[in-house]
Amino acid sequence: MNSQAPIVSLSAADLSAAIKAKQLSCVEVMTAYLAQIQQHNPKVCALVSLRSEETLLAEAAIKDTELASGNYYGWMHGLPHAVKDLADAKGLVTTRGSTIFIDNVANSDTTYVARIKRAGAIIIGKTNVPEFGLGSQTYNQVFGTTGNAWDHARTAGGSSGGAAVGLAMQMLPVADGSDYMGSLRNPAAFNNVIGFRPSTGLVPLSESYIEELPCNGPMGRTVQDTALLLSTMAGHDPASPTSLPIDPAQFLQPLGRTGAKHSHWKGTRIGWLGDLDGYLPMEAGVINLCEKALGGFRDIGCEVDEAYLNYSLPELWQTWLTFRHWLTRSKSLPLYADQNLRKQLKPETLWEITNGAQLTADDISRASGERARFYRALSGLFERFDYLVLPTAQVFPFAKTTHWPKIINGKPMDTYHRWMEVVTIGTLSGGPVINVPAGFNAAGLPMGLQIISKRYTDFASLQIAAAYEEATRWNLDRVPPL
C-alpha cells in the first residue's frame, strides 16, 4: 500500500489489506469516502438513497471494535458499498428507477447483497439506474440523470451507470451491477473502469428453472478488485436451481500466469470481430481507437487476427428482440394491467410489454432454437480462437439530455436499444464477457473493448483482462479530473 495515497484512491485490494492489518481504521475509511461523496456526488447523481453519516460512522466504529476483538468478517470488512437500485438491501428503498416504487422499502436482501454484507461491507445507499434498468442511459423521474465521470454533461451509460460513475470518481471501492443488454459493460466502457458479465448461473439470479439472459456481476477500478467482488457474489444457492456448483474461492487466486514477462500469453489467439464485417454502424473514431488498443494484446504475446461470425446477424437481432420482449412483459405485466400504474411507465417499457403480448409459445421455442444455432456458430469460432474481442459500444458517451441516439454514422436506429446491438453477441453466448478500457478519443471520452470467452472459463477471462490491463494501464494510470 502507498502510505502517501489518499484513502479513496487505493484499490479495493489494498484498502482491504490496510484495514485487516489495522493500518487504517474502518472509521477513517468511511470518513474519507463520505467526504468524497459529499464533494462529488451532487455533480453526477451516481449514489442515491444514502444513509445518514452518523449511522454509517457508528457502524464503521462497530467494525473496528469487532476487528480489535479478533472478529474479522472477510475481505470487505468495513468497506463502504452501494447496491444497484434494482436489487434489494434490507431497510433501503428499492425504486428500480420508477416513481411506482418510490416508497418500496426492502424487507430482505437479494442473495448477493446478503453475501456482500456477510463479507463485512457496510451498505451506504444505492446506485442510480434507468427505469427498470431499460436502456443504457441512466435517467429516471425519481432521482434524475447520472452524469459521466469524465464529462458530467454526457451519459454515464447504463443500466449500472451510477455504479460505474461511483467507481470512477472514487466514491466506491467496488460496485455490484447487473447485465442484460450490456449493463455491466457499457457504463464501464463509458467511465474507464472494469465491468464483468459472468457465465450464466455463476452468480445466483432467481428461482426460475429456465436459464435467464440477465445476470448479476461485479465492477471494479481494476481487474483484481473485480475478481475479489466476484468471489463474494458467486457460488451456488439452493434456492436458485440454475446457479452453478462452483467454488468462488477460485477468484481469490493470483490472476497472473507464471513465466517470463510478456511470454506466458505467447500463442494465445485473439479473434477481432470489429464492427461485424460492416454490419454495425459505428461513430467515427470508435473502430480506430479499438484497433489501436489491440496492441495491448500483442504486447503480452497474443496473436490477433480478424474473425467472422458465420451467422445471420439480422436473425440474431430478431432472436434478441423475442427474448427481450418476453422477459420485460413477464416482469412488468402486473404494472401494465393497472391503468393508473401504466401511466407512470416510460415509452420504452410500454413498447417492450405490448410487443411481448404478441408472442406465442412457438415464437419462444423458435428463438431458443435460433440461439442454439448461433451458439454452434460461436463455438466454431472458438475452435480457432481462444478469445473474441469487439468494441463495447458503437458510440462515445453522448449528451445526457439525449435519451438514446437516433442515428449512428448516417444509419437510423429503429428502437431505443438498437445502438447497443454490439453487446448482444456476448449476452446470447451465455459465457463470460469483460469490458476493459480501450483508451480515449480526442475529446477525452473513454471507450472499451469486450473480451468474450468460452462458457464457464470465467477465471481465464479475468486472467487475460488483467494481463491486458497491465500492458495498457488506461484504468491504472488515468482518473477523472476530480
Convert the pLDDT of each residue in 283-302 to its tens digit: 999 999 999 999 999 999 99
Rounded mean pLDDT of 73-82? 98
Cα–Cα distance measured from residue 143 to residue 162, given in angstroms and rounded to the nearest whole number: 11
Instruction: For the chain, report the end-to-end CA distance as a whole number of angstroms.
Output: 22
Angle of helix 458-472 relative to helix 223-233, nearest 10 degrees, comes to 160
Cα–Cα distance measured from residue 477 to residue 455, given in angstroms and rounded to the nearest whole number: 31
The single residue listed with the C-alpha cell 451467422 is 311
| Mode of pairing for the β-strands spanning 269-272 and 303-306 | parallel
Which of 183, 199, 231, 243 is the catalytic position? 183
* Domain covering 269-314+360-463, topology: Amidase signature (AS) enzymes (3.90.1300)
260 Cβ contact list (under 8 Å, min separation 6): none
Please report, for the chain, the start and end positions of each structural domain, with discontinuous segments joined by +: 7-252, 269-314+360-463
Sign of CA dihedral 203, 206, 209, 211: negative
Cα–Cα distance measured from residue 84 to residue 223, given in angstroms and rounded to the nearest whole number: 20
pLDDT of residue 208: 93
* 3 has pLDDT over 60: no
CA torsion 139-140-144-145 (nearest 10°) is: 0
Confirm whether 136 is a catalytic residue. no
- Give CA separation, 198 vs 174, 203, 260, in Å: 16, 7, 29
| Mode of pairing for the β-strands spanning 387-391 and 446-452 | antiparallel
Q: Convert the pLDDT of each residue in 55-76 to its tens digit.
A: 999 999 999 999 999 999 999 9
Q: Would you give the distance in Å from CA 363 to the centre of its chain? A: 29
Length of the chain: 482
Confirm whether 84 is a catalytic residue. yes
| Mode of pairing for the β-strands spanning 215-220 and 194-197 | antiparallel
> What secondary structure does DSSP assign to 166-186, as a single string?
HHHTTS-SEEEEEESSSTTTH
189 Cβ contact list (under 8 Å, min separation 6): 157, 195, 392, 393, 435, 437, 438, 446, 447, 448, 449
* 192 has pLDDT over 50: yes
Q: Convert the pLDDT of each residue in 153-184 to its tens digit.
A: 999 999 999 999 999 999 999 999 999 999 99
* 117 has pLDDT over 80: yes
Cα–Cα distance measured from residue 94 to residue 106, given in angstroms and rounded to the nearest whole number: 6
- Give CA separation, 314 vs 317, 318, 374, in Å: 5, 6, 12
pTM: 0.97
How buried is 310 (Cβ within 10 angstroms: 0-12 exposed, 13-18 middle, 19+ buried)?
Answer: exposed
pLDDT of residue 259: 53
Q: Tell me the HSE value of 197 on the side-chain side, using a 13 A CA sphere.
A: 37
pLDDT of residue 260: 47
Rounded mean pLDDT of 406-417? 98
Average pLDDT along the chain: 96
Element (H, E) at 426: helix 424-429
User: Could you give the 3-state DSSP secondary structure of residue 240?
Assistant: coil
Closest to 140 (Cα-Cα) out of 127, 151, 128: 128
Angle of helix 53-68 relative to helix 26-44, nearest 10 degrees, comes to 150
Cα–Cα distance measured from residue 45 to residue 168, given in angstroms and rounded to the nearest whole number: 13
Query: 83: which strand partners?
Result: 126
Rounded mean pLDDT of 146-159? 98
254 Cβ contact list (under 8 Å, min separation 6): none
Which of 84, 117, 346, 454 is the catalytic position? 84
* 93 has pLDDT over 60: yes
Rg (CA), the chain: 21
Q: Convert the pLDDT of each residue in 305-347 to its tens digit.
A: 999 999 999 999 999 999 999 999 998 989 999 999 999 999 9
The single residue listed with the C-alpha cell 403480448 is 357
Could you tell me the pLDDT band of residue 1, with boundaries at 50, 70 and 90? low
Rounded mean pLDDT of 83-99? 98
Whether 7-252 and 269-314+360-463 share one fold: the answer is yes
pLDDT of residue 193: 98
User: Could you give the 3-state DSSP secondary structure of residue 84?
Assistant: strand
Confirm whether 178 is a catalytic residue. no
- Cα three-residue angle 339-343-349, rounded to 5 degrees: 105
Could you tell me the pLDDT band of residue 424, with boundaries at 50, 70 and 90? very high
* Domain covering 7-252, topology: Amidase signature (AS) enzymes (3.90.1300)
pLDDT of residue 264: 83
